[in-house]
């Protein structure tokens, strides 16, 4: 009996050959590290549901971002946790608010060596934990929230941010942010739109990370996990409104949406490998149930293969170290 003539295994023979024909790359420049900075603490506070991730002090944040720059990461995404929260998220707009001072600190530290990005959303600053302000009957008020997002964009730009990430899923948020930035001459500040952002159970650990007091859920404004066509629609609307990059979030349960969005738009696509995705793998690895480092790289490669040009991931620095030659 003669064997098969066509043998795909031939291309898997050596590491050098596999490397040569690999379809998907994973590089430090494609990774963005999300970081948390908390007001009023004098030492970093571990986040118990995200082993290895902390709430930074203003100074420990600087060490983390300079390491990110040395590793050649694409950028950092800053989240601020204020000492006090209120119904309208005042801490988000105050010039001395934690996120705004952290943006200035980070830009002073790393300059243009990293893309400095900021979360443009109210949920870290509101005592009810929603991404916007509420109407008298407790619904999230889209249009009043947009006015606050516009102001937040101006404050972040004045602090020196390179890219803002509107993440609240208010309709029209990208165009409002774009005109607010342009209105004060910050035409170079770019927008990473959280376009297809799904109401997800996998955000759980993030709620601890930002000390969120959210009751209930975000299903009236974040997307229904049943819908992929709608995710593409959201991305197309954001491109029309001036988004420089569009994002799909979460990543792993929505890899099909990442692919569809990649095929539909002509701007870079990002995907957010979120807190619950991080914690699941870390927990399994801590039990010795999976081999942690290969599992991290396989996860990130799957998100790239689905079509993401950029990945926000809590493993960004570690992955960059693993990938270093
Ligand atoms: C909203 C925001 C959230 C995350 C990033 N930006 C939380 C939410 O929408 O509920 C989640 C990120 C993660 O889970 O890692 N500001």
Q: Half-sphere exposure (CA, 13 Å, Cβ side) for 106?
A: 38
Band of the pLDDT at 325, cuts 50, 70, 90?
Answer: confident
214-242 average pLDDT score: 96
Quote the pTM value: 0.97
Q: Is the peptide bond before 40 cis (omega within 30 degrees of 0)?
A: no
Q: What is the pLDDT of residues 264-322, one digit of tens each?
A: 999 999 999 999 999 999 999 999 999 999 999 999 999 999 999 999 999 999 999 99
Ligand 1 pocket, residue 275 CB under 6 Å: yes
Ligand 1 pocket, residue 203 CB under 6 Å: yes
Ligand 1 pocket, residue 146 CB under 6 Å: no
Closest CA to 195 of 107, 271, 110: 271
Please give the distance, rounded to the nearest whole angstrom, from the Cα atom of residue 21 to the centre of ligand 1.
Answer: 36
Please give the distance, rounded to the nearest whole angstrom, from the Cα atom of residue 290 to the centre of ligand 1.
Answer: 26
Closest CA to 109 of 35, 18, 200: 35
Which atom of ligand 1 sits closest to the CA of residue 119?
16
Residue 193, pLDDT > 90, answer yes
Q: What is the mean pLDDT of the chain?
A: 97
Percent residues over pLDDT 90 in the chain: 98
Instruction: Report yes or no: 100 and 160 within 8 Å, Cβ to Cβ.
Output: no
Residue 52, pLDDT > 80, answer yes
Strands 115-120 and 75-81: parallel
pLDDT of residue 128: 95
Q: What is the pLDDT of residues 73-115, one digit of tens each?
A: 999 999 999 999 999 999 999 999 999 999 999 999 999 999 9
Instruction: Report yes or no: 79 and 103 within 8 Å, Cβ to Cβ.
Output: no
Q: What is the largest CA-CA distance in the chain?
A: 80
| Active site members | 197, 249
| CATH superfamily, region 25-323 | Aldolase class I (3.20.20.70)
φ and ψ of 221, to 5 deg: -130, -30
Q: Of all helices (H) and strands (E), which one includes residue 174? A: helix 173-183
Residue nearest (by alpha carbon) to ligand 1 atom 5 = 167
Residue position matching structure tokens 């001395």: 96
Residue nearest (by alpha carbon) to ligand 1 atom 10 = 203
Work out whether the CA dihedral 175, 126, 99, 95 comes out positive or negative.
positive
Q: How many residues does the chain have?
A: 325
Residue nearest (by alpha carbon) to ligand 1 atom 6 = 167
pLDDT of residue 213: 82
Ligand 1 pocket, residue 315 CB under 6 Å: no
Residue 303: count other Cβ atoms within 10 Å of its Cβ: 27
Q: Half-sphere exposure (CA, 13 Å, Cβ side) for 234?
A: 28
Instruction: Report yes or no: 57 and 44 within 8 Å, Cβ to Cβ.
Output: yes
Task: Report CA 324 to chain centroid distance, whole Å.
Answer: 23
Ligand 1 pocket, residue 274 CB under 6 Å: yes
Q: What is the pLDDT of residues 233-251, one digit of tens each?
A: 999 999 999 999 999 999 9
φ and ψ of 165, to 5 deg: -120, 85
Please give the distance, rounded to the nearest whole angstrom, from the Cα atom of residue 272 to the centre of ligand 1.
Answer: 9
Whole-number Cα distances in Å, 144 to 15, 123, 291: 56, 15, 48
φ and ψ of 12, to 5 deg: -110, 10
């Amino acid at each position: 009996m003669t064997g098969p003539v066509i043998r795909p295994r031939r291309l898997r023979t050596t590491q050098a050959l596999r490397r040569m024909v690999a379809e998907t790359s994973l590089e430090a420049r494609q990774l963005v590290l999300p970081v948390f900075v908390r007001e009023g603490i004098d030492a970093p506070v571990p986040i118990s549901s995200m082993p290895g991730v902390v709430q930074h002090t203003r100074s420990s944040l600087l060490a983390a971002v300079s390491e990110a720059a040395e590793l050649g990461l694409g950028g950092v995404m800053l989240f601020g946790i204020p000492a006090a929260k209120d119904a309208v998220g005042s801490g988000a707009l105050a010039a001395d608010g934690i996120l705004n001072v952290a943006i200035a600190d980070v830009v002073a530290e790393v300059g243009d060596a990293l893309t400095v990005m900021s979360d443009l959303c109210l949920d870290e600053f509101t005592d009810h934990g929603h991404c916007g302000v509420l109407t008298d009957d407790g619904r999230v008020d889209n249009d009043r929230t947009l006015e606050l997002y516009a102001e937040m964009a101006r404050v972040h730009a004045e602090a020196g941010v390179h890219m803002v990430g509107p993440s609240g899923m208010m309709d029209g948020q990208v165009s409002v942010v774009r005109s607010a930035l342009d209105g004060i001459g910050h035409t170079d500040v770019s927008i990473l739109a959280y376009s297809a952002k799904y109401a997800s159970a996998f955000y759980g650990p993030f709620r601890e990370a930002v000390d969120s007091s959210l009751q209930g859920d975000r299903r009236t404004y974040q997307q229904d996990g049943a819908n992929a066509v709608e995710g593409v629609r959201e991305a197309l609307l954001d491109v029309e409104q001036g988004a420089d990059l569009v994002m799909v979030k979460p990543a792993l349960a929505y890899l099909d949406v990442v692919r569809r969005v990649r095929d539909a738009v002509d701007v870079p696509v990002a995907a957010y490998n979120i807190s619950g995705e991080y914690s699941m793998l870390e927990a399994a690895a801590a039990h010795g149930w999976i081999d942690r480092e290969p599992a991290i790289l396989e996860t990130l490669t799957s998100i790239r293969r689905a079509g993401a040009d950029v990945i926000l991931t809590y493993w960004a620095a570690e992955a960059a170290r693993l990938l270093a030659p």
